[in-house]
Amino acid sequence: MDAKALVRDAHPYPSPCLLLDLAVVKRRFTALRQALPEARVLYAVKANPQPEVLAVLAELGCEFDIASPGELHLCRAVAGRERFLSYGNPIKKERDIAEASADGVGLFSVDSPLELEKVARAAPGASITVRLSVSGARAEWPLTHKFGCSSDQALDLIKQARHLGLTPRGLSFHVGSQQTRPQAYADAIARAAHVFRAARAAGIWLDLLNIGGGFPAHYTHEVPPLDAYARSIRQAIHDEFPTTPPELVVEPGRYLVGDAGVMVTEVVLVAERPHERTPRFVYLDAGLWSGLDETMGERIRYAFYVSGPARDHGPAVIAGPTCDSADILYRHDLTSPSDLRPGDRVLILSAGAYTATCSTVGFNGFPPLPTFVLDSSKDVEAARPTDVDAVPES
Amino acid sequence: MDAKALVRDAHPYPSPCLLLDLAVVKRRFTALRQALPEARVLYAVKANPQPEVLAVLAELGCEFDIASPGELHLCRAVAGRERFLSYGNPIKKERDIAEASADGVGLFSVDSPLELEKVARAAPGASITVRLSVSGARAEWPLTHKFGCSSDQALDLIKQARHLGLTPRGLSFHVGSQQTRPQAYADAIARAAHVFRAARAAGIWLDLLNIGGGFPAHYTHEVPPLDAYARSIRQAIHDEFPTTPPELVVEPGRYLVGDAGVMVTEVVLVAERPHERTPRFVYLDAGLWSGLDETMGERIRYAFYVSGPARDHGPAVIAGPTCDSADILYRHDLTSPSDLRPGDRVLILSAGAYTATCSTVGFNGFPPLPTFVLDSSKDVEAARPTDVDAVPES
């Protein structure tokens, strides 16, 4: 999407809202397929479960990774009964496992003995992968410290799965979301290969490796190109599995939809707070409770775009519209045009992932963030079909 | 609500959900009225806008503080056209000010020149209060650094309001939510009185002082009794306004509804993570995205209640059900029964404030947290009419 065109064209849209360009999703999926043709692609539905997104991905042959019964129902409704689904959340209620199994979900992820027992009871004979804990260093949104087990635990779980009548297919891992270091995949693949070899020594042949998501969207920092990730992954697979490579699965979420979204917001107020370290506060009509959860700890640094000619910038704090002081998006290292005024439109770029579903049902009485779907490759009314290329304001 | 009775009786309720006891809300309102009969009570709707809560408070004569058009519509629908409303959010869209003014909202809060100009344009002649920045020290959920202005700025705004044809009624402040230090009010009242005197010297007689909310609910830490707050406030008003005290307004939110709520949750998984500092992870079916936002930074420490006889406890990390590693509620200083198992019910006590509206529309495909309203003073099926008195698990 061309952000400048959007500012021009955004006036029919209410503020705040999320605009989602299906053309970007399709381009990204195609790029990933070309870069890693040896991998099955499972879209991490949680990144953005907008039905139109699932539909275009399904049309292109994408499969899906789900986190809950809600996502199961959605995928079935959009992509049909036959589409391959993986239940990647290692924390599932037993009745949800049973429902998913009855509904044909083909693969379950586990990382603990009690979860394995639940799967064995609720989905007898099911295929499972064991989630390995790997480093999340250099991921802007790390996913360690909650999921995953050690190599020794993984081996125990694989043996136990076999003992319980399940089918241990292989391993999964996640190097962290918005992973900025391609080598992270190679390191994790090496760890996984070690477990594959140990399992083989114990008489269990594993044949599937799910290397998760983590491929970055383009926020304010430069990120390596997709090819760098593909090279790192391919080389590691070649080195670690020289004779029979496992079936490779990737689970992109942010990479496919992040850059496809633009959040339209409006300046509600600009205020000088001389007693604060950065005195200039810009208040938008979207904030931490309208889907900008990933600004927590200022981890994801969205780029802002304001229309108009180049002009003076000054340091600014960016805050949301609620009465809550935790609703401050950025305090540090941000500037905004000095003449920003209430009513001005501010676009938040690359806001397609982990936003709309994160907006609250009504904190402070503000309604959830609506999504408008367009396709810049088809719709002449839509923004021009180039990726977001605006100069970030920050 | 009696938590033990709730565990017994909670099985008809789905998990997760929020149970809200109107009897507690009524008792709290009455207690506040008795402790501070000289104050007008405006309920901070944002704490929990459940219509039944607004209705019982309206019936008792309560007025309302709103943060948005959504809360305006809700209050009008439940409490009628004549009920006094204050628009306490100092960050408002101009069109929202106009709508509120047309709908009879009686008071607007401002803390910056641009906001004052918006109110002057959209609500000519309106009554305003200026929000003063005061210390949020010893508040467990501080509200500084986003709102409020200095004494000098406040005086300028008051003069400017007069100049713009508005009616400057007085000042407001907020000492922070879950404020554990009664003296915080006295200190803030002294600061406000200074501005009252300066305004009088400039020929402007202010007659209203809004001392905000901040009165605590009862989480795991002991908090001072309401009377301690009332004494501190009354003494400060007596000392600082010896001749003509201003009209006093309080805006409780958490104090009225916090202890009226119990969140019903279910254990989804218990896992040992030997590579983590606290290896035992208890995963619940409610988390950061299901309304437990105030666990961010572990600031609000909810008490947990698990039924059954006293038993061994061990350190535990408590996490939510999503695939996101940020969905960890507590890492530190928490214990849970060592024999907790998937399927067990865990109650989160005093969860009536800032929870249900904070749950997301569907992060990870999990539906929003539903609320069930009961009245333990009327409904023999409901829990017994005593405040939550369970021994916290933490």
What is the model's pLDDT at position B140? 84
pLDDT band at A308 (very low <50, low <70, confident <90, very high): confident
What is the model's pLDDT at position B333? 81
DSSP state at residue A367:
P
| Contact at CB, B328 and A146, closer than 8 angstroms | yes
A–B CB contacts, 8 A cutoff, strictly below? 209
Residues of B in contact with A356 (CB under 8 A): 361
Is the bond preceding residue B16 a cis peptide, omega within 30 degrees? yes
pTM of the model: 0.93
pLDDT at A152 over 70: yes
Angle at A69 between CA A64 and CA A70, to 5 degrees: 80
pLDDT band at A61 (very low <50, low <70, confident <90, very high): very high
Nearest to A358 among B266, B289, B343 (CB): B289
Q: What are phi and psi of B379, to 5 degrees?
A: -95, 110
| Contact at CB, B365 and A49, closer than 8 angstroms | yes
Q: Render pLDDT for A260-278 as a digit per residue (tens, 0 to 9).
A: 999 999 999 999 999 889 9
Q: Is A323 a catalytic residue?
A: yes
Closest to B216 in 3D by CA, of B34, B353, B35, B51: B353
- Average pLDDT of chain A to the nearest whole number: 92
Do residues B300 and B284 make contact, with C-beta atoms less than 8 angstroms apart? no
| Contact at CB, A266 and B93, closer than 8 angstroms | yes
What is the model's pLDDT at position B131? 98
CATH 3.20.20.10 placement within chain B:
22-257
- What is the radius of gyration, based on Cα positions, of chain B? 22
Q: What is the mean pLDDT of residues A277-282?
A: 94
Least confident piece of the model among A57-66, A246-255, B11-20, B121-130: B11-20
Residues lower than pLDDT 70 in chain B: 1-11, 380-394
CATH 2.40.37.10 placement within chain B:
3-17+258-374
Closest to B320 in 3D by CA, of B297, B300, B293: B293
User: What is the chain A residue with the closest CA to B284?
Assistant: A91
Measure the CA–CA gap between A129 and B154, rounded to whole angstroms: 62
CA distance A148 to chain B (A): 8
Measure the CA–CA gap between B323 and B95, rounded to whole angstroms: 39
Q: Render pLDDT for A190-217 as a digit per residue (tens, 0 to 9).
A: 999 999 999 999 999 999 999 999 999 9
For chain B, what percent of residues have pLDDT higher than 70? 93
Q: What is A3-17+258-374's CATH number?
A: 2.40.37.10
Cβ-count burial A1-13 (b if 16+ within 10 Å, e if not): bbbbebbebbeeb
What is the model's pLDDT at position B265? 97
What is the model's pLDDT at position B359? 98
Looking at domain A22-257, its CATH superfamily turns out to be Alanine racemase (3.20.20.10)
Q: What are phi and psi of B359, to 5 degrees?
A: -70, 150
CA distance B224 to chain A (A): 24
What is the model's pLDDT at position A169? 98
User: What is the chain B residue with the closest CA to A290?
Assistant: B360
Residues of A in contact with B287 (CB under 8 A): none
